[in-house]
Amino acid sequence: MLNPVTIGTFSRMSPEAPGLRARKKQRTREAIVDAAMQLFAERGFDATTIADVAAAADIAPRTFFGYFPSKEAVVFHDQEALLASFDARLHARERDETAIDAMRAWLLELVAANDRDAPRRAVRRRLTDETPALAARERANRAQFETVLTKAVAGDLGTSADALAPHLAAAAAIATLDALDRFHAGRELPDAEAAVAILDEALAFLRGGLRALRRSQSS
């Protein structure tokens, strides 16, 4: 029979322990994001300190920095995961699937997964429009997505990622998604079917532009 000390030792050695620690870290991370976004919504981004966020999340300020390097990083808490997911989806596409079609599929997968982050995104949209530091961070984030998409489009066009054509296509794609985001900010979101129709309408312009680029390259 195991006594409490042995049980504690066994749990630390058990393969399950890392999973438990990871879940605990994820819960703490989510608590920080929830507390921060609520405070940012109530007080504004600049008026909220890291100490305020730490107190609301019931952690020490130094613990905050174990999860996020800055307040800006909390606002865009999902950036790294989304970028990695986008990059993986583009790399996993079939030979006959274009980068634009893969991007469409990725977006639809995100919507289908869950919309738990919708309230956070609404707060983020408002904060970004109001706060220059966050607007700059958003531009830097978009540039990362644009870089990933540029490489994939270059593969579709059979050209170098340093060439102008893939840069134009990727910039147009990211600008289109940003325009859709801004258009729907503060409006009632459409149902899933309507959202897909709106997305496809926007992507039709991108596909037309890519066809024109291919024709210009072959002429």
One pLDDT digit (tens) per residue for the chain, 219 residues: 333 333 233 333 444 455 888 889 999 999 999 999 999 999 999 999 999 999 999 999 999 999 999 999 999 999 999 999 999 999 999 989 999 999 988 988 877 665 556 678 889 989 999 999 999 999 999 999 999 999 999 998 889 999 988 998 899 888 888 877 776 665 555 555 666 777 777 777 777 767 766 666 665
pTM of the model: 0.78
Q: What residue ranges define each of the domains in the chain, with the CATH number in brackets?
A: 4-71 (1.10.357.10), 76-218 (1.10.357.10)
Q: What are the DSSP E strand ranges found in 23-138?
A: none
What pLDDT, on the 0 to 100 scale, is given for residue 189? Answer: 56
Q: Measure the CA–CA gap between 62 and 50, rounded to whole angstroms.
A: 10
What pLDDT, on the 0 to 100 scale, is given for residue 205? Answer: 73
Contacts 24+ apart (CB under 8 A), 33-37: 33/74, 33/77, 33/120, 36/71, 36/74, 36/75, 37/74, 37/75, 37/119, 37/120, 37/123, 37/124
What pLDDT, on the 0 to 100 scale, is given for residue 185? Answer: 62
Q: Measure the CA–CA gap between 134 and 148, rounded to whole angstroms.
A: 22
Helix (H, G, I), strand (E, B) or coil at 70: coil
